[in-house]
């Protein structure tokens, strides 16, 4: 989860860099290398999270660089050890982990579209580019987990840990065990018809002589491609949503398609070239507009659902049967134990804070649609104590014991392998 959050934080941070990083080797571990670009990416993510500017805090940033590089060196060492011991990761486990990462990022941003905007790429591209990293991460986790699985803590260990570290343990946040039902606002049949007819009108203008490029600049609602005449570049199979993907990899070249419906609206598509599993295409997007009437109909639907809810069992069944949030509906609409200080949807944040437990909220409007909220319980925060925070403290004590063991172990491992560390330098960031 942390890695995904880092990626989200660093996207805009990296975009501010005006100079091109000339890649080079930061470290060599046996026959494997750590690239400077990967170190900078990881360091920038940490810097963005900690609000550290490399230009104004160069010494702190240098420490982050060194720490990021060392983490990568350690992971390569662990992977090397895991491979020597024939530890394997199944492809289905990689797929599962990637899907979970995607679900997490969508949950954090609020939608697939916002997730892709934050990442700067399609979800399918993210999965493809991150697959090897995920495999290495899972391999390292599996191997280190196998080494520390026998480590445990006694009651005395927890008490000793608390007595030593109680003054440095921060207060625990108040957590809200929250569930929700989401009903998305969908356009009416009339709106669908209007956007289809507009797409057909644009198609006829193109067939009558208007160039595709000019039509895209004039009519397309896709900000990422309209100024390029609708050009989407060379992309591999699986990049687009399935309805779009199916067309671009089956339609004949240089044929203007009929309007193709996706979640974004209607597309006019033309394939220019295919090379292996990549296709060069262009499109014009005509969005289907959502009206106030569409919003009212959706409100009425979710309000009727609310009126049928008398207890948590009713809420759970409604989440399963009606909620459009596919990441939570099969789990009773569960959103997690929410720390409101870090929750990103202001409308829901306010309702979660004010609603009585074990009651259903009134419909709440957000950019995603209409929601019903159910807060099952509130775990009050505050300074740590052994009675109310035993489980958390037990986990902290166990993690500390495992960390101490790991640090001793990895120090020994580093002495057994060839490791070269080159000087770390980085480009200045303008602004």
Which strand (E) or helix (H) includes residue 303?
helix 292-307
The residue among 286, 310, 331 that closes a domain is: 286
Question: Residue 115 has which token pair?
Answer: 């997730």
Same domain membership, residue 328 and residue 179: yes
N-terminal to C-terminal alpha carbon distance within the chain: 30
Question: Does residue 181 lie in a domain region?
Answer: yes
Cα–Cα distance for residue pair 162/156, rounded to 1 Å: 10
User: What's the pLDDT at 21?
Assistant: 47
Same domain membership, residue 369 and residue 245: no
Cα–Cα distance for residue pair 222/102, rounded to 1 Å: 23
Same domain membership, residue 278 and residue 136: no
User: What's the pLDDT at 52?
Assistant: 86
Does residue 320 contact residue 159 with C-beta atoms inside 8 Å? no
Question: Does residue 168 lie in a domain region?
Answer: no
Same domain membership, residue 336 and residue 264: no
Burial readout 390-408 (b: 16 or more C-beta within 10 A, e: otherwise): eeebbebbbeebbeeebee
Closest by Cα among 431, 430, 428, 426 to 41: 426
The residue among 235, 251, 286 that closes a domain is: 286
pTM: 0.56
Same domain membership, residue 119 and residue 237: no
Question: Does residue 387 lie in a domain region?
Answer: no
Does residue 177 contact residue 378 with C-beta atoms inside 8 Å? yes
Question: Does residue 396 lie in a domain region?
Answer: no
The residue among 258, 286, 314 that closes a domain is: 286
Token pair 């609602």: residue: 221
Same domain membership, residue 298 and residue 247: no
Q: Where are the alpha helices (DSSP H) in 325-389?
A: 346-354
The residue segments making up the domain with residue 108 are 2-152+410-421
**Beta bridge mates, 284:** 268
User: What's the pLDDT at 2?
Assistant: 39
Per-residue pLDDT of the chain (431 residues; tens, 9 = 90+): 334 344 444 443 444 343 334 568 999 998 889 988 888 888 887 887 788 888 888 899 999 999 999 999 999 999 989 988 898 888 989 888 888 888 777 766 666 777 777 677 788 888 888 888 888 889 988 999 999 999 999 999 999 999 999 999 999 999 999 999 999 998 888 889 999 999 999 999 999 999 999 999 999 999 888 999 999 988 887 778 888 988 998 899 999 999 999 888 999 999 999 887 789 999 999 998 888 889 999 999 999 999 999 999 999 999 999 999 888 888 999 998 999 988 888 899 999 999 999 999 999 998 889 999 999 999 888 999 998 889 999 999 999 999 999 999 999 999 999 999 998 866 554 44
Same domain membership, residue 241 and residue 221: yes
Question: Does residue 127 lie in a domain region?
Answer: yes
Same domain membership, residue 101 and residue 7: yes
User: What's the pLDDT at 427?
Assistant: 54
Token pair 């080159």: residue: 422
Does residue 317 contact residue 331 with C-beta atoms inside 8 Å? no
Question: Does residue 391 lie in a domain region?
Answer: no
The overall longest dimension of the chain from CA atoms, in Å, is 83
Does residue 182 contact residue 368 with C-beta atoms inside 8 Å? yes
Same domain membership, residue 242 and residue 180: no
State how many domains the chain has.
Answer: 3
Question: Does residue 405 lie in a domain region?
Answer: no
Same domain membership, residue 129 and residue 50: yes
Cα–Cα distance for residue pair 43/10, rounded to 1 Å: 9
Q: Residue 345: which CATH number?
A: 3.10.50.40
Question: Does residue 170 lie in a domain region?
Answer: no
Does residue 292 contact residue 223 with C-beta atoms inside 8 Å? no
Q: Residue 144: which CATH number?
A: 1.10.4030.10
**CB within 8 Å of 188: residues ≥ 6 apart:** 291, 293, 294, 297
**CB within 8 Å of 201: residues ≥ 6 apart:** none
Same domain membership, residue 323 and residue 252: no
Same domain membership, residue 147 and residue 199: no
Token pair 């009212």: residue: 296
């Amino acid at each position: 989860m942390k890695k995904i959050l880092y990626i989200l934080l660093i996207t805009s941070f990296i975009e501010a860099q005006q100079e091109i990083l000339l890649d080079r080797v930061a470290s060599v571990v046996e026959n494997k290398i750590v690239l400077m670009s990967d170190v900078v990416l990881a360091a920038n993510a940490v810097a963005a999270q900690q609000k550290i500017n490399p230009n104004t805090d160069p010494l702190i940033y240098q420490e982050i660089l060194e720490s990021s590089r060392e983490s990568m060196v350690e992971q390569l060492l662990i992977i090397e050890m895991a491979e020597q011991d024939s530890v394997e990761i199944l492809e289905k486990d990689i797929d599962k982990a990637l899907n979970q990462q995607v679900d997490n990022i969508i949950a954090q941003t609020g939608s697939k579209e916002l997730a892709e905007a934050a990442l700067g790429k399609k979800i399918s591209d993210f999965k493809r580019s991150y697959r090897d990293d995920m495999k290495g991460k899972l391999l390292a986790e599996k191997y280190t987990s196998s080494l520390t699985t026998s480590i445990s803590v006694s009651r005395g260990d927890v008490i000793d840990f608390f007595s030593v570290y109680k003054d440095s343990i921060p207060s625990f946040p108040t957590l809200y065990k929250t569930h929700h039902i989401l009903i998305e606002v969908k356009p009416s049949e009339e709106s669908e018809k209007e956007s289809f007819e507009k797409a057909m009108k644009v198609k006829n203008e193109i067939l009558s002589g208007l160039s595709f490029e000019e039509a895209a600049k004039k009519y397309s609602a896709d900000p990422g491609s309209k100024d390029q005449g609708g050009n989407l570049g060379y992309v591999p199979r699986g990049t687009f949503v399935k309805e779009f993907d199916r067309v671009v990899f089956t339609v004949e070249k240089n044929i203007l398609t009929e309007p193709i419906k996706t979640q974004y609206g209607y597309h006019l598509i033309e394939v220019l070239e295919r090379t292996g599993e990549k296709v060069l295409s262009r499109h014009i997007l005509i969005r289907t507009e959502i009206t106030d009437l569409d919003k009212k109909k959706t409100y009425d639907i979710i309000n009727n659902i609310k009126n049928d809810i008398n207890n948590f069992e009713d809420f759970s069944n409604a989440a399963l049967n009606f909620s459009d949030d596919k990441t939570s509906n099969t789990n009773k609409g569960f959103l997690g134990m929410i720390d409101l200080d870090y929750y990103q949807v202001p409308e829901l944040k306010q309702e979660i804070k004010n609603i009585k437990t074990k009651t259903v909220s009134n419909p709440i409007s957000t950019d995603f649609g209409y929601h019903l909220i159910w807060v099952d319980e509130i775990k009050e925060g505050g300074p740590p104590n052994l009675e109310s925070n035993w489980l958390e403290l037990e986990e902290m004590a166990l993690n500390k014991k495992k960390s101490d063991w790991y640090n001793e172990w990895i120090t020994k491992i580093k002495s057994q392998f060839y490791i070269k560390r080159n000087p770390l330098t980085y480009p200045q960031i303008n602004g």
